[in-house]
Structure 1
Amino acid sequence: MLLNGQNVVIDVSVTLGENVQIGNNVVIYPGTIIGNNVIIQDNAVIGKQPIRAKASILPDIKALPPTVIGNGVTIGTSAIIYANAEIADDVFIADLATVRERVTIGEKTIIGRGVAVENDCTVGKRCKLETNCYITAYSEIGDYVFIAPCVVTTNDNYMARSKERFDKFKGVTVKNGGRIGANSTILPGKVIYEDGTVAAGSLVSKNVDNESLVLGHPAKEFMKVPENQLLRNQ
């Protein structure tokens, strides 16, 4: 059964599974594939092609492949999912979240309210990306990763100055079980290894070892993560 709200725009080439619920003012762009038992709330936009600013250093791109939405996915009010994103089964994408082009989201992951996942990122399964955190382009997030509210990740050490930066953009990597506390900042290219943990409000300027808890400005190892908190013991 398909439940449609008012003022819904669905291109004729869109593929819809069974029991898809669609709210008011939803726009679904051409070629989008949507699985079974999906909920799409008011004002969501799915399959949007990216547009390039005139001053952008990124190359102009042709039309990207369509978005693929798995089974049991929930997409919140005013969320935007760009073309060439792949959303696995049972993912929850909250209100006002943005998932950019060429992003993959693993099964049962939660993308919180206002979260931005920029282009060319991978996010693993059963992650929690909480309210208003920012995942910079070219980042790799493993499985069972926790990222608290208002975490900022970065990918440009040159802060938009000099042509030298053009081939040096590098996002962050968070390995399986990594955790980042609220209001922390992770500098470009840094790696948080398995079960590495960043305390709230920290500035990560070098890699975080596996099972290490770091804190401060810049963040330094404070202790090892307690055994009862390690992913293997959950």
Structure 2
Amino acid sequence: MISSQAQIGENVTFGKGVIIEHDAIIGNNVKIGHYSIIETGTIIGDNCLIGSHVKLGKSTARNANMISNKDEEIFPLTIGNEVIISDHCVLYHSTIINNQVFIGDLASIREQVVVGKNSVIGRQAIIENQTQIGKQVTIQTGSYITANMIIEDEVFIGPCCSTSNDKYMKSGGKNLKGPIIKKGAKLGNHATLLPNITIGEFAIIGAGAIVVKDVNARETIIGVAGKLLDK
């Protein structure tokens, strides 16, 4: 079902069972796979590839125990040019995906997120709300990126890494602050970052390390809890 109020560009192809809701805007040379849903107002740029069973522009649902920001700005999901979104992904409203981003199968990206140009979001990665991701960032399979986090340009995050933003666990939304990962830093497989710490530029966090405090630029951290490796 394609709404008569949607704007569809030239040379757009649709798979079986695709739903395009009203006021959606789809650019030229876009391919949308089977049974995908493009919700109201979603904007898709030119030369994009959208897989099957994808949901774009999903609305936020919460119960009484979930933290919400009543002042957050609401706007349509906006997807740039030459973006690839693989099968079974879910992207929420009020998020910006810049040009030439690749998003792997089964990934989830919440609202109020920005993903910079040429970045890669791996299979089954989860990006929580109000997180900023820079240019040419790689987030590999199964990593969990918490809310209220900043990831600068050219960061590498290996498979199954975990980050957190609530030091006291279920603190009611007060003082939630995820880690800041500075430009060019690298995290090995299964690394864990605790809330409100900064990983300096071009620092390296070894596989399986648990990082509980700030890491200076170009330092290498290994172990549990993470210790400074002698230079």
TM-score between the two structures when normalised by the length of structure 2: 0.92
Counterparts of 1:223 and 1:15, CA distance in 2: 54
Partner of 2:23: 13
Long gaps (5+) in structure 1: 225-234
Deviations 1:107-165 (A, max 9, x none): 0000000000000000001011000000000000000000000000001111115x5xx
Counterparts of 1:29 and 1:13, CA distance in 2: 9
Counterparts of 2:106 and 2:200, CA distance in 1: 30
Q: 1:173 aligns with which of 174, 180, 194?
A: 180
CA contact (8 A) 1:49 1:63 kept: no
Counterparts of 2:107 and 2:186, CA distance in 1: 20
CA contact (8 A) 1:49 1:64 kept: no
Q: 2:216 aligns with which of 200, 209, 214?
A: 209
Alignment pair present for 1:129 and 2:144 = no
Matched residue count: 221
Which aligned runs of 4 or more in structure 1 are off by greater than 6 angstroms? none
Among the aligned pairs, what percent are the same residue? Answer: 36
How much has 1:55 moved relative to structure 2? 1.8
**For 1:150-189, what aligned pairs fall within 5 Å after superposition?**
150-160=160-170, 166-189=173-196
Q: 1:218 aligns with which of 219, 225, 231?
A: 225
Q: Name the SS for the 1:214 alignment partner.
A: strand
Long gaps (5+) in structure 2: 1-10
Partner of 1:231: none
CA contact (8 A) 1:193 1:209 kept: yes
Counterparts of 2:130 and 2:81, CA distance in 1: 22
How much has 1:217 moved relative to structure 2? 1.1
Q: CA RMSD in A?
A: 1.4
**For 1:68-79, what aligned pairs fall within 5 Å after superposition?**
68-79=78-89
As a proportion of its length, which structure holds more helix? 1
How much has 1:206 moved relative to structure 2? 0.6
Q: Name the aligned partner's letter for residue 65 of structure 1.
A: F
Q: Name the aligned partner's letter for residue 171 of structure 1.
A: G
Alignment pair present for 1:198 and 2:210 = no
Partner of 1:232: none
Q: Name the SS for the 2:124 alignment partner.
A: coil
Counterparts of 1:16 and 1:61, CA distance in 2: 29
Q: Name the aligned partner's letter for residue 218 of structure 1.
A: A
Q: Name the aligned partner's letter for residue 142 of structure 1.
A: E
CA contact (8 A) 1:10 1:27 kept: yes
Structure 1 residues 88, 223: CA separation in 2 closer, same or farther (over 3 Å shift)?
farther
Counterparts of 1:15 and 1:100, CA distance in 2: 20
Q: Name the SS for the 2:229 alignment partner.
A: strand
CA contact (8 A) 2:73 2:94 kept: no
Counterparts of 1:198 and 1:167, CA distance in 2: 28
